[in-house]
Amino acid sequence: MKSGLSPLGVIPARVGSTRFPNKVLAPILGKPMIQHVWERAKKATRLGRLVIATDSQEVLRIVHQFGADAVCTPDGFLNGTERVAYVASQSDAPLIINLQGDEPLIAPEAIDKLICELEQNTAFDMATLAVGVRDRTQLHDPNVNKVVTGCDGAALYFSRQALSSDETGSFLKHIGIYAYRRETLLRLVRLPSVALERAEKLEQLRALAYGIRIKIAVIDEDTIAVDVPSDITKVEAFLKARIHS
């Protein structure tokens, strides 16, 4: 698999979610969710090849129907990062973008900004997204991941628990889309997990524990990730409002 010097975008898609089985195929306004993600990512101007990576024959069949490039990955991967690394190992792309299959509203401009952050900041090995939020309900919601940063925009810690906020209650909400230097990604998936990663159930803490520097790219607009079936209604309401605006 060759990708030249352009960043390679990979959307890992599994059907075995315990909280929401077949999530990536859940219909949103008549299209499977994975198609919404793919269509928005295709609009990013800085991506080269865009691939959906899955071990599901059903997902392969459906994504081929709407014209996506797809790779069949082996069984047994523990998470999407390992699936993305499998695709990256067969590519010569210098930057790998891990695009989550449950982010149907991700802005193409956010993907481009993420790529620019890693291209321009050579002291960092990874980059990811965050958005400033002023909502104490989300601050204390364990399903909302938070991040704190240093003065240089480097991630200091990620947590499901409430992290420090200012007097207005504003905090940085992490959006789990990542850019990696290829060598960093291939190294990361070979490293043993660490206690903090297992306790928080956040695999990016493994990177921090081993000294991998993560640049936080702050975007202006929040997204609506689909974690549970009720989130589909929120996404559809957002899309309908935009259609009629």
Residues 110-124: tens digit of each pLDDT: 999 999 999 999 999
Triad 70, 73, 77: Cα angle to 5°: 135
Check residue 1 and give its pLDDT.
45
Query: Which one is predicted more confidently, 17 or 91?
Result: 91
Name beta bridge partners: 96: 8, 180
Q: What gap in Å lies between CA 19 and CA 4, rounded to an integer?
A: 38
Question: DSSP readout, 127-141?
Answer: EEEEEEEE-HHHHT-
Of 112, 118, 134, which is closest to residue 222 (Cα–Cα)? 134
Report the amino acid identity of residue 209: A
Check residue 245 and give its pLDDT.
63
Check residue 176 and give its pLDDT.
92
Q: Which long-range contacts (CB under 8 A, 24 or more apart) does 199-205 make?
A: 200/158, 200/159, 200/160, 201/160, 202/145, 202/158, 202/159, 202/160, 203/79, 203/81, 204/128, 204/155, 204/158, 204/176, 204/178, 205/157, 205/158
Indicate if the pLDDT at residue 132 is higher than 90.
yes
The DSSP element (H or E) to which 218 belongs, if any, is strand 214-219
176 close to 188: Cβ distance less than 8 angstroms: no
Residues 14-41: tens digit of each pLDDT: 887 667 888 999 999 999 999 999 999 9
Q: 60 pLDDT band (50/70/90 cuts)?
A: very high
Q: 2 pLDDT band (50/70/90 cuts)?
A: very low
Residues 154-175: tens digit of each pLDDT: 999 999 999 876 667 789 999 9
Mode of pairing for the β-strands spanning 126-134 and 155-159: unpaired
Residues 204-233: tens digit of each pLDDT: 999 999 999 999 999 999 999 998 899 999
